[in-house]
Amino acid sequence: MSKVPARTAAISEAHGKADEGAAPRAPNALAWLVLSGLVIWLDAVTKGLALEHLRLGEPVAVIDGLLNWTLVYNPGAAFSFLSDASGWQRWFFAALAVGMSALLTVWLARTDRRDWRQAAPFALVIGGALGNLVDRLVHGHVIDFIDAYWGTAHWPAFNIADSAIVIGAIGIALFGLLAKAGD
């Protein structure tokens, strides 16, 4: 039995021809981008409804004392970070969204499709980042409309894309810590 040189084996694998003795590689997690697409779609639909039915800055009570729908335009990032900057932040956050989404897509391509603890959080962050990117490119700002509060203390307004980013980031951190604890 002859051994195949490493360079030849790498070229064969890159062209879809695995070594005869190698175990078949599990499918990658790019199929999880369907979840990203779902987040982008749901985000766009809810923002469209907010633009159609809400007036800027006027709260509509959903659960009195806890939740309003309030249309807000956010030219900054989370918690209105850099919202009062001169406009450069629009392109900075757009580039950041593209870069992070590209990086996470590469990581998805390297992740086993069955590893939902890694794939789902990546897909949620990608969907959220691209959902807000659409707003930045189309409107010049992000459309927020979910206003959670307790008494007079209001959490900064947010949207479905923001929620997906936060849930995804928590998942990345939590499942990353759990994986480290299991080692």
Contact of 134 with 40, CB cutoff 8 Å: yes
Neighbours of 32 (CB within 10 A): 24
Q: Is 43 a catalytic residue?
A: no
Q: How far apart are CA 80 and CA 166, in angstroms?
A: 15
For residues 50 and 175, give the distance between their C-alpha atoms in angstroms, rounded to a whole number. Answer: 33
> What does the longest C-alpha to C-alpha distance in the chain come to?
76
CB 168 within 8 A of CB 121: yes
Q: Is 135 a catalytic residue?
A: no
How far is 67 from 60, CA to CA, in rounded Å? Answer: 9
The one catalytic residue among 43, 135, 147, 162: 162
Q: Which of 43, 135, 144, 147 is catalytic?
A: 144
Distance CA 148, CA 160 (A): 13
From the DSSP assignment, how many helices (H) and strands (E) are in the chain? 5, 4
> Could you list the active site residues?
144, 162
